[in-house]
Amino acid sequence: MPLIEDGRPAEDSWTSVPDGEPVPGDIPAIISFERWQAERDSFAGRNTKLGVRLKGGTLAPAIAEDLDRFALVAVEFPKFRDGRGFSTARELRERYGYEGEIRAVGHVLPDQYLFLKRTGFTSVEAPEGTNLESWVNALSEVSVVYQPGLGKDDPNPLINRWLKSEAVQG
């Protein structure tokens, strides 16, 4: 499935490993949260990067204790209308200080890309058959934001324009 990073299609260096199949020891691999819970000890000596995939109903606190074991957390959107993932990412960043990659997977729309980015996602696995151009355009469609968000290039929130020191010129 096409990977989008920083508003562009990107090469995916990660492999998603279905439950029950062997986890390759030499390449970055993403396993399910359920598998992690069941087999965590088997990953004790692993030297290669490990990622974990959370189902829509698995919220940030469930993985909080183990975050230092993962270089990537994939947050699944079962349906684009199910917005829990936005809070999951934000919690991972703001509440648990997670600094690794957060990837949106599942049913997400280009129209949500800006929101994904602003809640702390670093990459998106776009659904198959998606129009990549819509994803590329999505970040530049709306340039004005009103409240603080996440992401290193998140613009100055509009509400701050009332602070003289940070006044933004239109």
- Spell out the residues 6+ positions from residue 131 whose beta carbon is closer than 8 angstroms to its own: 110
In three-state secondary structure terms, 90 is: helix
Provide the mask over 46-65, with x wherever binding to another protein is found by CB under 8 A and - wherever it is not: -------------x------
Three state DSSP letters for 50-89? EEEEECCCCCHHHHHHHHHHCCEEEEEECCCCCCHHHHHH
Residue 54: half-sphere exposure toward Cβ, Cα within 13 Å: 26
Q: Is 87 in the site for another protein (CB under 8 A)?
A: yes
Pick the binder of another protein from 4, 73, 91, 139 (CB under 8 A).
91
| Nearer CB in complex with another protein: 47/169 | 169
Q: Is 136 in the site for another protein (CB under 8 A)?
A: no
Residues of the shown chain interacting with another protein in the complex, contacts defined by CB under 8 A: 59, 80-84, 86-88, 90-91, 94-95, 109, 111-112, 114-119, 131, 134, 137, 141-149, 158-164, 167-170
